[in-house]
Amino acid sequence: MNPAPSSDYIRAYMPERGVDVARTALLIIDMQYATGSRQGALSRTLQAQGSTVGDYRFDRIERQVLPHTRQLRDRCTALARPVLHVTVGAALPDATDAPVHMRKLFVEFSNHVGSREHEILDELKPRAGEHVLRKTTIGAFASTNIDSLLRALGCEQLYLCGISTNMCVETTAREAADRGYLVTLVEDACGTTHEDLHQVTMRNFQRLFGRVRSTEQVLGELTAPVAA
């Protein structure tokens, strides 16, 4: 009788790829007022409906995602590594420049260029030298020049954080993995509305797509090279 396959058998097919700090970049996904703040459109909509479903989401953003993302950005800045802010939203108030399946969300949340909802949270406002890319799709590679930018910057190894874990973060991470990038999801710097969706995403991403690490582990990897 053949032995039962190990639950993590897929790891046997994943190549070992070491981290090279000189080839890394940090991607901060959709940390905007529309869906990333207790003062934003999503939160106001849920409150008006009498729903508490957003409580977990905004607690996690405030207690984990924001502080850990700031730590990651500070470390990358100290190492002179690129930081890319990816935003989601339309160029126009009627969202006619966006794919059909995204338009209602953008319009009802007033998520378009020039609105407060579209802005990146004040705690993460882009600094001089950081890159900002606006997408109209769930994944960044489908509607921005992120691939050509990263390759121009010489960045083949990506750390991803932001919201929502199981939507824009995961889709962008999968797109990157399929293009040959070494992708790491920073588990405690990502968030979504339901804990089970977050956990399942992290568990599944480790099956061929890439790595999952904590902020502490990533900070341990992102260190200045030792002089010879």
**Domains with residue ranges and CATH for the chain:** 20-221 (3.40.50.850)
Spatial distance between the Cα atoms of 176 and 45, rounded to a whole number of angstroms: 32
CA angle 167, 169, 174 (to 5 degrees): 95
Using the predicted structure, report yes or no on whether residue 213 has a pLDDT greater than 80.
yes
Q: What is the pLDDT of residue 6?
A: 57
Between 6 and 183, where is the model more confident? 183
Q: What is the pLDDT of residue 17?
A: 85
Using the predicted structure, report yes or no on whether residue 154 has a pLDDT greater than 80.
yes
Of 168, 191, 185, nearest to 72 by C-alpha is: 185
Q: What is the pLDDT of residue 112?
A: 98
pTM: 0.94
- Name 216's Cβ contacts closer than 8 Å, sequence gap at least 6: none
Using the predicted structure, report yes or no on whether residue 1 has a pLDDT greater than 50.
no
Instruction: Indicate the pLDDT class of residue 3, thresholds 50, 70 and 90.
Output: very low
Mean pLDDT calculated for residue range 2-14: 65
Mean pLDDT calculated for residue range 184-197: 98
Q: What is the pLDDT of residue 4?
A: 46
User: 84-128: per-residue pLDDT in tens?
Assistant: 999 999 999 999 999 999 999 999 999 999 999 999 999 999 999
Q: What is the pLDDT of residue 188?
A: 98
Each residue of 138-172: b (16+ CB within 10 Å) or e? Answer: bbbbebbebeeebeeeebbbbbbbbbbbbbbbbbb
Average pLDDT over the chain, rounded to whole? Answer: 94
Percentage of the chain modeled with pLDDT above 70: 95
Q: What is the pLDDT of residue 14?
A: 79
Using the predicted structure, report yes or no on whether residue 76 has a pLDDT greater than 90.
yes
Lowest mean per-residue pLDDT among 9-18, 178-187, 199-208: 9-18
Of 130, 140, 174, 182, nearest to 158 by C-alpha is: 182
Of 209, 97, 87, nearest to 138 by C-alpha is: 87
Mean pLDDT calculated for residue range 70-84: 98
Instruction: Indicate the pLDDT class of residue 226, thresholds 50, 70 and 90.
Output: low
